Structure 1
Amino acid sequence: MNSAGRYVHRRGIHCESACQRGILAAGGFDVDEEVVFGLDGGFGFSFFPANGNAPDIVVGKQEIMPLRAARLMGVEVGLHTPRSSAALAKLLASAPAVMTRVDLGLLPHWGLGGRSSFGGYFVNVTRGVGGEAFEVSDPAFDAPVVVGAADLDAARASRGSPPVNPDRKVYVFGPRRTAPRLRLVGPVAVRTLCRDVLRPGSRSLGIPGMKRLITAAASWPRSKRGEVEDVDLEGRVIRTDALARQLLHVGRQIESFGTGGGLFRPLLGRFLTQVAAATDDPRYAESAELFFESGRLWQSLGATLLARGTTDSREDLTSLVDGVTDTVRSAMDVEKRALGALTAL
């Protein structure tokens, strides 16, 4: 356990839960990342179609920073929207780190140059550096990075990925008051998760969102046409087919953009495994295995899109679209089985 008040950078799995875990540890409370993730209740699926040939957005969650885990842990969290570097630095004066929402595509150390945008990413800002930069704890990297104040401001203010823009949101965590008992709060979080994914109230979310992705993906060879600018996996600016950009973007969303791989499904499986142990109920573990199976399907698709999504052949790209629709349909069926079993508990 870290000593209270001292922030230590750790590489993580999911940006949001890893950042929360790091700040909680600085407050003297060391908790597994999958527990933070599961209790937060953000797991699920979101699909946001884009206009024209811009890439549609796929997210393995349904809520961004719902703060349910913090409430269960008795931690008060203040939400701020500082509009300047000076205002951000002022927040750091009262905390070992603050959690900041950003557009991943505008963080210089990701090398995307704004050509690929995702505004639902999180990093922890730990201190100012020389008045013109900040030290940033990005859980996707092995060590902290220094980001210029202007670059960080741009990433916090980005409007490049509606409806998941960062909106300058910054979270300041207070001290922990209670320790959650997973035996009691785990099943509550699981019931909420099942309700939100099976009956989300929006056709862009949960199981309806997966069905909408299947339909939309089938239309990509017609809707994603023409030559566009993108960044390849080595950070080089390239001209590519809009369909290739779409497929590469989905691959990145599944494997690279803070999910830990498999669109969060393995992370949820590990949470359910912990709930099974805490409650002494093996049925949670049985559903965990189904989410591990689903995670393998998503990981295979993501790896394929990252490896082949830059092909120049329109015929090959169209065949990859068939792989997207088939895999999403298979994963959806597995997840419906898991969620149905959990609902019955």
Structure 2
Amino acid sequence: MSYDSQIEEFQHVQTAHCENGVTTALLRHNGLDFMTEPLAFGMGSGLFYIQIPFLTVNNGPAISFRTMPGAIFKRTCKSIGVDVKSKRFGSPESAEEFLNKKISEHVPVGCQVGVFHLTYFPKEYRFHFNAHNIIVYGKEEGRYLLSDPTMEDVTSLSVEELNKVRFAKGTFAPKGHIYYPENVGTVSDEMIRKGIVKGIRRNVRDMLHIPGSFAGVDGIRYTSNNIRKWRDKLGLKKAGLFLGQIVRMQEEIGTGGGGFRFLYGAFLEEAAAYLQDDRLIGISEEFTKSGDMWRAGAIQMAGVYKGRLTEQKSFDEIADRLLEIRSVEKEAFQKLSKLNLGK
């Protein structure tokens, strides 16, 4: 039986971040034309910060500037009454069989993949990161047709290439993870407004009220305290590698730290229009400021990584900048928490 099939009407959507893009494109494909990347990110409460103690990724600190992989898609869909189908598999064969079935049904699907073996990625961007998201929307001449939201245009992978990235090994191993929306009905403006408010409230909780010292705004302070100690504790070379890891997680994994703050600011601007609440515009500007500060910090961290900055003073300045960022983000989320939105 041939599974060659192509969903000709599928529209590729280029976005700054992969999961936002998959969410936006799949929902638009199912008739929800109002969906944008900032709206998906905000309704999905995507903004976050965490440094996981005692865990390393690529021999560096385990840091994330966004919520857990998969959460944005699930939360955004749930907030507007869309069901989500999600499956993982025990073998590439069963994963491939299910994917072929969805293609034959003309259903585009999201897939979680590893980056290291993505042949269409430039080599400098291929490393062991298993939480990248793509859409498979068809199959032609034995190759799967892909929409990777971080790329300018559609692309394709062979059966072997796609199986390899769908079953990449290591942290966040995808295990063939496939997901897509089901039972997509009409979404009213009132449903969108409620989804926006719920997304904001959940993000306030995640950034201000999660217990412990290494997540949310307190997680930024946790990283700041670590950075002050790295030069003496690890030595200059390893400390520089650790800072390089933060830059990579911030600037090369989707939109990273700074870009996610710009994106959240854009979400609040859209939210202001839906909720008719101009107070959100001012708070949006604070997240833009935070994004600028993260980007400036990345430049300084890169200077240490490349050996241009070697003194403890530079580590202290980077740590101080993170405390300033924490202050800006804490104040912004506190303002959001006091708005009494949706009332």
Query: Using a 3 Å threshold, how does the CA distance of structure 1 residues 52 and 171 change in structure 2: closer, same or farther?
Result: closer
Structure 1 residues 247-326: aligned runs within 5 Å: 247-259=243-255, 262-305=258-301, 308=303, 310-312=305-307, 315=310, 321-326=315-320
1:231 is matched with: none
Separation in structure 1 between the aligned mates of residue 146 and residue 257 of structure 2, nearest angstrom: 22
Alpha-carbon offset, residue 343 of structure 1 = 0.8
1:54 is matched with: 59
Q: Number of residues paired by the alignment?
A: 323
5+ long unaligned stretches in structure 1 = 227-240
Cα deviation code 1:78-115 (max 9, x no counterpart): 00114323443333333442111122233223334897
Separation in structure 1 between the aligned mates of residue 135 and residue 314 of structure 2, nearest angstrom: 36
CA contact (8 A) 2:118 2:126 kept: no
SS at match of 2:120: helix
Separation in structure 2 between the aligned mates of residue 130 and residue 217 of structure 1, nearest angstrom: 51
5+ long unaligned stretches in structure 2 = 1-6
1:337 is matched with: 331
Separation in structure 2 between the aligned mates of residue 224 and residue 88 of structure 1, nearest angstrom: 46
Alpha-carbon offset, residue 212 of structure 1 = 2.0
Structure 1 residues 33-44: aligned runs within 5 Å: 33-44=37-48
CA contact (8 A) 2:65 2:257 kept: no
Give the root-mean-square deviation of aligned CA atoms. 2.8
1:204 is matched with: 214
Separation in structure 1 between the aligned mates of residue 155 and residue 77 of structure 2, nearest angstrom: 26
Query: Using a 3 Å threshold, how does the CA distance of structure 1 residues 144 and 168 change in structure 2: closer, same or farther?
Result: same
Please point out which of 142, 160, 176 is paired with 1:168. 176
Q: Which amino acid aligns with 2:24?
A: R
Query: Which deviates more from structure 2 when the two are superposed, residues 268-277 or residues 93-102?
Result: 93-102
Q: Which amino acid aligns with 2:48?
A: G
Q: Which amino acid aligns with 1:116?
A: F
Please point out which of 22, 26, 41 is paired with 1:23. 26
Aligned-pair identity (%):
23
CA contact (8 A) 1:13 1:260 kept: no
Please point out which of 168, 179, 189 is paired with 1:158. 168
TM normalised by structure 1 equals 0.83
CA contact (8 A) 1:42 1:64 kept: no
Structure 1 residues 177-196: aligned runs within 5 Å: 177-181=185-189, 182-196=192-206
2:85 is matched with: 78
Separation in structure 2 between the aligned mates of residue 52 and residue 64 of structure 1, nearest angstrom: 15
SS at match of 1:104: coil
Cα deviation code 1:36-63 (max 9, x no counterpart): 1111123211223434981113221133
Cα deviation code 1:107-133 (max 9, x no counterpart): 2233348973222221112223433x4
TM normalised by structure 2 equals 0.83
Return structure 1 stretches of 4+ with deviation > 6 angstroms: none
Q: Does 1:143 align with 2:132?
A: no
Alpha-carbon offset, residue 342 of structure 1 = 0.8
SS at match of 1:123: strand
SS at match of 2:9: coil
